[in-house]
A and B are shown apart, each in its own frame.
Chain A
Amino acid sequence: MTGFLGPLDSPAARRSWLAGLRDSIPKATSKNDLLDRIDGALFVPAPQGDPATLEALGKRYRGQVDKAGDLHDRVNKVARKGLPEVWTGKTSVLAADGVAAAARAATDMAEAFDGGAKALYALADALGHAQRQDADGRARLEQAKRQLGPKEGFFDIVDRMIETDEEKQALVSARSAATEGVDLMHKAAVAADDAVRAATRDLNKWAAEARAGKLRTGGLSAVDRLMLADTSGKAGAAEYNEILTAGDLERSGRAMDRLPAADRARMDQLLAGAGSPQEKAYLMKALAAGHSVDDIETFGRKIHGKDPAWLQQHLSPIVTQGDSLKDEGVDAGSGANVNTDLQSFRGQQWAQGGDGREGTCVASSTVTARAMVDPVYALSLTGGPSGQENDPAAFRRRLVDEQHRVHTEGHGGANWDGMVLEGKTEVVNKEISPETGSAYELHEVKSADARRNVLPEIEKAVAEGRPVPIGVEGYEADGTRHGHAMMIIGQEGDKLEIYNPWGQTTWVSEDDFVNGGMAKASNSQLPDAYAVHLPQD
Chain B
Amino acid sequence: MTSRTTRLAPAALLALLALTGCGTDDGTTGAPTPTVGSTSSVRATPSGGTEYGTERRDITVRPGERFSLTVPSAPTLGEHWYLADPRPDKAVLAHRGEHTTGDRSEADGSTGSTRSFDFTALARGRTTVRLLHCPLHTCTGPGPDDRSTLGPSPSGPPSPYPTLTADPHAHGAGAGYYVFTITVR
A368 within 8 A of B: no
Choose, from A1-9, A171-179, A218-226, A347-355, the stretch at the interface. Answer: A347-355
A64 within 8 A of B: no
B109 contact from A332, A341, A342, A483, Cβ within 8 A: A483
Contact call B108/A479, Cβ cutoff below 8 A: no
Q: A71 CA to B105 CA in the complex, in Å?
A: 59
A300 within 8 A of B: no
Contact call B137/A356, Cβ cutoff below 8 A: yes
Contact call A476/B7, Cβ cutoff below 8 A: no
**Chain B: CB-nearest residue to A364:** B109
Contacts of B112 in A (CB 8 A): 417
Contact call A333/B4, Cβ cutoff below 8 A: no
B110 contact from A342, A354, A413, A478, Cβ within 8 A: A413
A344 within 8 A of B: yes
Contact call B106/A356, Cβ cutoff below 8 A: no
Choose, from A86-94, A455-463, A519-527, the stretch at the interface. Answer: A519-527
Contact call A478/B99, Cβ cutoff below 8 A: yes
**How many A residues have CB within 8 A of the partner chain?**
64
**Chain A: CB-nearest residue to B156:** A355
**Chain A: CB-nearest residue to B167:** A357
B94 within 8 A of A: no
> Within the complex, what minimum Cβ distance (angstroms) separates B153 from chain A?
5
Q: A324 CA to B5 CA in the complex, in Å?
A: 12
Q: A479 CA to B147 CA in the complex, in Å?
A: 34
**Chain A: CB-nearest residue to B139:** A333
A465 within 8 A of B: no
Q: A403 CA to B181 CA in the complex, in Å?
A: 40
B99 contact from A352, A476, A502, Cβ within 8 A: A476
Choose, from B23-31, B35-43, B71-79, B121-129, the stretch at the interface. Answer: B71-79
B83 within 8 A of A: no
> Within the complex, what minimum Cβ distance (angstroms) separates B135 from chain A?
7
> Within the complex, what minimum Cβ distance (angstroms) separates A234 from chain B?
13
A331 within 8 A of B: yes
Q: A344 CA to B109 CA in the complex, in Å?
A: 21
Question: A331-B7, A481-B102 are contacts. A357–B171 as well, Cβ < 8 Å?
Answer: yes
Contact call A526/B76, Cβ cutoff below 8 A: yes
> Within the complex, what minimum Cβ distance (angstroms) separates A52 from chain B?
46
The A contact surface, by secondary structure, is: loop
> Within the complex, what minimum Cβ distance (angstroms) separates A396 from chain B?
7
Contacts of A331 in B (CB 8 A): 5, 7
Chain B, residues 69-90, CB within 8 Å of chain A (1/0): the string is 0000011111110000000000
Contacts of A340 in B (CB 8 A): 4-5
Q: A334 CA to B100 CA in the complex, in Å?
A: 15
A393 contact from B7, B100, B155, B169, Cβ within 8 A: B155
**Chain B: CB-nearest residue to A519:** B75
A24 within 8 A of B: no
A424 within 8 A of B: yes
Question: A357-B170, A362-B108 are contacts. A321–B1 as well, Cβ < 8 Å?
Answer: yes
Task: Report, as a range, how many residues of chain B touch the other chain.
Answer: 35 or more
Contact call A417/B111, Cβ cutoff below 8 A: yes
> Within the complex, what minimum Cβ distance (angstroms) separates A508 from chain B?
15
Question: A333-B7, A354-B153, A481-B102 are contacts. A525–B111 as well, Cβ < 8 Å?
Answer: no
Contacts of A396 in B (CB 8 A): 153-154
Contact call B153/A355, Cβ cutoff below 8 A: yes
A334 contact from B7, B76, B108, Cβ within 8 A: B7
Question: A333-B80, A354-B171, A357-B169 are contacts. A525–B155 as well, Cβ < 8 Å?
Answer: no
Contacts of B147 in A (CB 8 A): 342
A383 within 8 A of B: no
Chain A, residues 390-428, CB within 8 Å of chain B (1/0): the string is 001100100000000000000011000111110010000
Contact call B108/A480, Cβ cutoff below 8 A: no
Q: A352 CA to B147 CA in the complex, in Å?
A: 17
Contacts of B100 in A (CB 8 A): 476, 480, 525
A477 within 8 A of B: yes
Q: A483 CA to B75 CA in the complex, in Å?
A: 9
Q: A478 CA to B115 CA in the complex, in Å?
A: 13
Contact call B109/A526, Cβ cutoff below 8 A: no
Contacts of B74 in A (CB 8 A): 359, 482
> Within the complex, what minimum Cβ distance (angstroms) separates B156 from chain A?
7
Contact call B110/A417, Cβ cutoff below 8 A: yes
A418 contact from B1, B2, B105, B154, Cβ within 8 A: B105
Contacts of A351 in B (CB 8 A): 136, 152
B140-159 residues with Cβ-Cβ distance < 8 A to A are 147, 150-156
A124 within 8 A of B: no
Most buried by B among A334, A478, A480: A480
B163 within 8 A of A: no
Contacts of A359 in B (CB 8 A): 74, 76-77, 107, 109-111
Contact call B137/A477, Cβ cutoff below 8 A: no
B80 contact from A334, A348, A526, Cβ within 8 A: A334
Q: A362 CA to B76 CA in the complex, in Å?
A: 11
Contacts of B107 in A (CB 8 A): 359, 412-413, 417-420, 483
Q: A161 CA to B88 CA in the complex, in Å?
A: 70
**Chain B: CB-nearest residue to A324:** B1
B108 contact from A338, A418, A523, Cβ within 8 A: A418
A483 contact from B106, B137, B154, Cβ within 8 A: B106
Contacts of A337 in B (CB 8 A): 5
Q: A373 CA to B19 CA in the complex, in Å?
A: 45
Contact call B104/A355, Cβ cutoff below 8 A: no
> Within the complex, what minimum Cβ distance (angstroms) separates A498 from chain B?
14
Most buried by A among B4, B78, B155: B78
Contact call A361/B109, Cβ cutoff below 8 A: yes
List 5 interface pairs A-B (beta carbons < 8 Å), by A numbering. A349-B137, A355-B135, A356-B152, A420-B108, A478-B99
Which 8 pairs between the two chains have the least Cβ-Cβ distance? A418-B107, A356-B136, A480-B102, A418-B110, A525-B75, A359-B109, A342-B3, A483-B108
A residues apposed to B, CB below 8 Å? 235, 321, 323-324, 331-334, 336-342, 344, 346-349, 351-362, 392-393, 396, 412-413, 417-421, 424, 471, 473-474, 476-485, 500, 502-504, 522-523, 525-526
Other A-B pairs beyond A333-B7, A355-B136, 12, CB < 8 Å:
A334-B7, A338-B7, A344-B3, A348-B154, A354-B153, A417-B109, A418-B107, A480-B113, A482-B75, A482-B110, A484-B109, A526-B75
